[in-house]
A and B are shown apart, each in its own frame.
Chain A
Amino acid sequence: MPRRWVLLPIAVVLAAGSVAYWTWSGADVRWTVLATLGYLATIAGGLLAWGRRPDSRIGPLLLAWGAYGLVGGVGARWSPVLFLVWFCATPLYWILLAHTLLTYPDGRAHTAAERWFLRIAYATPLLWLAIATFDAPVLYRTVRPVVAAVLGLWLLALIVRRRLRMTPAQRRSATPVLWATAGPLGVFLYATALNLIGNATPIPKVLYDAYHWATPAVSFWVPAALVVGLYRSKLARADVASLLVRLRTASVDDLRAELAAVLRDPTLEIAAERPPGDARASTALGAGLLLLHHPSARDEDPELFDAAVAAAAVKLDNARLTERVRAQLAEVTASRERLVHAADEERGRIERDLHDGAQQQLIGVGMALESARMSVPEGSTTAQLLDEANDQLRASIAELRALARGLRPALLAERGLEVALQELRRRAPVPVSLTVEVPGRLDPAVETAAYFVVAESLQNASRHASGARVEVELRRAGSDLLISVRDDGPGGADQRNGSGLRGLADRVAAIGGRLTVASAPGEGTTVSARVPAPERAG
C-alpha cells in the first residue's frame, strides 16, 4: 500500500477532533457527523485519484478540499486570530471545489481565462480580509454575494467552454464530472440567491435548512462522480489491451482506425510529417512516422494514450522488421539464384572455351604431328617418338572432353531433359530404370538442376551402392517438378557430409525448390527434390 494512505488515519483522527469540537461548541451533531463523513469520503477519493493519476493535480486538490472541510473553523471560538483566519478562508471551500471541477481530469488550467479565474478566485480571501479589517457588515452583505455570483457564472462559462473544446473521448470520460459539477454548482447558486434575496426580504427558514443539508451532500457527490470517471478510464485501459490483441492480426493499414477508436479521436492520423499549419499535436511512433492527434488527446489520460501509442509503435516495429526480413530473404534468394545462374553461365563459357580453344588447338597440333609422321620412315626412332606424342595428345584431348562434358552437357540444352537423362542412364555404371512424365521443355535452370540431381545421385549410387538397382522418376505435380532417385543399396548417406549432396541442395534451393535425402541404414537411399517448374514460354 502506498505511503500516502497514511493520510487516511490522520484524517480520521482529525475528523474525530472536528466532530468533538463542533459538538462541544453546540452545533447539530447529525449535521456535523454527516459533513465530516463527506470530507473523509472526499479525502479517500482524493487518495484514489492521486494513486490512479499521479501526474494529475485532481488528487491533491480533492485532498486539500477534504482537509479544509475537516479543519476549517476549528478553534475559532478560542482565538480571535484563528477566527479571522477562518473567516477569510471561507471562500476556499468553493474555490478548491471550483478548481477541481474546472480542471478535471489533469488538474491544470489550460487557457489564460482559466488561469485568471483561478488567480482572482484564490485572491478573494484578501477581499474578505479587507472587509474584516474595515469591519463593514454592509460591505460583507453586498459585496460577498456579488463576488460569489460573478465567480460562479464565470466558472460555469469556463466549464462549458472547456467542454466544447474537448475531443469526444475527453468529453466522454469528463461527463461524470459534469454531473458532479451540477451538484455543488446548484448548491452554490442556491446559496448565492438566498444571500441576494435574503438581504432584501425575509426568507422561510426551511429554505435555509435545505441549503444547510445540501452542503455535506456535495462532499459525497464529487468523489462519487470521480469514482465513476476512474471506472470509465479502466474500460479504456481494457480497450488498449484488446487493441494489442487485435493488432497482432490487423494490417498496418488498419492501425489508424484502431487507434482512432481506442483514443476516441476520429481526427487522428498517421503521417510521415505534420503538414504545415496543422493545429494537431504529434507524437513519434517510431519508424519515422508521427501520430497526429487532437492537441489535448494525451492530457485526458496520458497512461492510456502512451499505452495505445506504444502498442501502435510495437505493431509498426514488427511490420518494419517483418518487411526488412522479407526483403532480405528475397535479396538472399535472388542473389543465390544469380550465383547459380552465373556459375552455370561460367561453366558453359568454360566448356565452349575448352571446345573451341584448347581442344581445337590440340587437334591442330596433332594434325601437324601426323603430317610430320608421314614424312618419317616407318620404324625409325623419330616415328616412334611422334607416335608416342600423338598417343599422349589424344589422351589429353579425351581428358579435356570428359572435363568439358561434366561442365555442361550439350545434349541437355540441345535435346532436353528426357533425352539427356536417357543418355545418363545408358552410361550409368549401375542398372537404371527411368520414368520421365514431363511433357515439353522446362525452364533451363530447372532442367539443369534436375539433370545434376539425377547425375550426382547416380554417381553416388554407383560409388556407395554398387550392384544396386536405381529407379529414377520425374513427374509433374501441379506446377512443380518432382524428381526422385531411389536405390536399393545399403543407405546411410548423410546430406550434411556429402559436398555433392549439399551442392545439389543449394542448387535446388536456388530455384526455390527443396531437396531431401532419406537414407536410413539398410533401406537404400532416396534423393527427392521438388522444384517450381513453370513451363517454358514459347
Chain B
Amino acid sequence: MSDIRLVLADDSLIIRAGLARLLEAGGLHVVAEAGDVPELFRAVALEAPDVAIVDIRMPPTHTDEGIRAAGRLRREHPTTAVLVLSQYIETPYAMELLNGRHSHVGYLLKDRVLERVALIGAVRRVHAGEVVVDTALVDALLNTQAVPSALAPLSDREREVLALMAEGLTDRGIADRLNLSPKTVGTHIQHIFDRLGIADSPTDNRRVHAVLSYLQAL
C-alpha cells in the first residue's frame, strides 16, 4: 500500500471532510486541509505533500482561482502533483493546466468525488506523473461532428485511441477499453505520433504532446 500524502483545498468544509474520509478509506493520507489559496500554499510549503486536490472555485472571486493556483503550485513545488476539481470542465482551462506542465496534473469534474475508485485512481495517476483529463470533456468533444483538420490524417480508430490517451489511460487501459491487444494499441499510438508529427522523445512527453494537440485541434 502506497502512502500518498495529500492536501485538500476547497472552501466547503463538508466537501473537505467527506473527501478526506473517502480518501483515507482508500488508503491515502490527508495531511492538511485548506479553505482558500493562501492556506493551500502554507499547507503545501509546510507538508510538501505528494498531491494537492484543489477546487477551481475558491475565495475571493469564486471563479478560476484553482486553475491559477495549480499552475503556481507546479512551478513552485514541482514535487507536488495537482488535481483540479471543477463544476464544469472547459477546454481552455484544461489547456492552461496542461500547457508547459506536461506531467503530474489532472482536471476532473467535481462529482468524480462520488466515484471513489475513479477518484483514487486519478490521484494515483497524477502522483505517478500522468496527465489526467476528465472523460466528460473528451466525451463532449467526441460528440461533436466536427472533425478538425489537424486530426484529419488520423483514422477513426486512431482518433478513438487518442481520445482515450487524452483521458489519461495507459496503453493497458486503452487496450482493455477497446478490447485490443496492448501491442495493437502501441502500433496505433506510434501511428498517431507519426501522423501528428510529434518528434521522437521520451514517451511521457510524446503522449502529452499528442493529448495537447488533440485538445487544441478541437
Contacts and interface: CB of A to CB of B under 8 A. Distances in A.
Interface of A: 352, 355-356, 359-361, 363-364, 366-371, 373-374, 390, 393-394, 397-398, 401, 404-405, 410-411, 413-415, 419, 422-423, 425-432
A364 B92 contact: no
8 contacts: A363-B15, A364-B14, A371-B21, A373-B116, A394-B111, A410-B63, A425-B146, A426-B218
B180 interface: no
Interface in B144-158: 144-147
A427 B139 CA distance: 10
Contact of A360 (B12, B63, B114, B146): B12
Given A373-B116, A419-B92, A429-B143, 4 more contacts: A363-B114, A397-B114, A404-B87, A413-B63
- Which A-B residue pairs are the 9 nearest by beta carbons? A367-B18, A366-B114, A431-B146, A364-B14, A397-B111, A426-B218, A414-B63, A419-B92, A374-B25
A419 B64 CA distance: 14
A73 B57 CA distance: 118
B21 A390 contact: no
Contacts of A426: 91, 140-141, 144, 146, 218
B151 to A, nearest CB: 12
A370 B116 contact: yes
B145 A429 contact: yes
A427 B116 CA distance: 28
A250 B107 CA distance: 68
Of residues A352, A359, A413, A419, which shows the largest number of chain B Cβ atoms within 10 Å of its Cβ? A419
A393 B113 CA distance: 12
Query: Which among A390, A394, A410 has the highest number of chain B CB atoms within 10 Å?
Result: A410
Max chain B Cβ within 10 angstroms of own Cβ: one of A355, A367, A429 = A367
Nearest to A369: B114
Given A411-B90, A423-B91, A363 B63 contact: no
Contacts of A405: 88
B110 interface: yes
B98 to A, nearest CB: 15
Interface string B53-88: 000010000111000000000000000000000011
Interface string B8-29: 0000101100110110010000
A432 B146 contact: yes
DSSP class of A's interface residues: helix, strand, loop or mixed?
Answer: helix
Contacts of B12: 360, 364
A259 B36 CA distance: 75
Contacts of B57: 355
Interface string B79-121: 0000000011011110000000000000000110111100000
A348 to B, nearest CB: 11
B22 A363 contact: no
A364 B91 contact: no
Contacts of A369: 114
A398 B111 contact: yes
Contacts of A411: 88, 90, 92-93
B87 A401 contact: yes
Most interface-central of B25, B64, B90, B113 (chain A CB within 10 A): B90
Nearest to B119: A370
Contacts of B62: 352, 356
A431 B148 CA distance: 8
Nearest to A427: B140
Nearest to B92: A419
Given A367-B18, A370-B22, A371-B22, A359 B114 contact: no
Nearest to A467: B145
A414 B114 contact: no
Contacts of B25: 371, 374
A461 B183 CA distance: 42
Given A366-B111, A367-B21, A374-B116, A429 B15 contact: no
A113 B113 CA distance: 110
B144 A428 contact: yes
A370 B14 contact: no
A355 B87 contact: yes
A427 B144 contact: yes
Contacts of B22: 367, 370-371, 374
Contacts of B91: 422-423, 426
B201 to A, nearest CB: 27
Contacts of B115: 394
B114 A370 contact: yes
A368 B18 contact: yes
Interface string B114-141: 1110000000000000000000000011
Nearest to A359: B87
A419 B96 CA distance: 12
Given A414-B63, A423-B90, A363 B144 contact: no
A430 B63 CA distance: 29
A363 B110 contact: yes
Contact of A367 (B92, B113, B144, B218): B113
A408 B206 CA distance: 36
A430 B93 CA distance: 23
A367 B141 contact: no
Contacts of A371: 18, 21-22, 25
B145 A431 contact: yes
Given A370-B22, A429-B145, A393 B114 contact: yes
A468 to B, nearest CB: 10
Contacts of A413: 63
Contact of B18 (A355, A364, A394, A431): A364
Contacts of B15: 360, 363-364, 367
B19 A367 contact: yes
A368 B116 CA distance: 12
B113 to A, nearest CB: 6
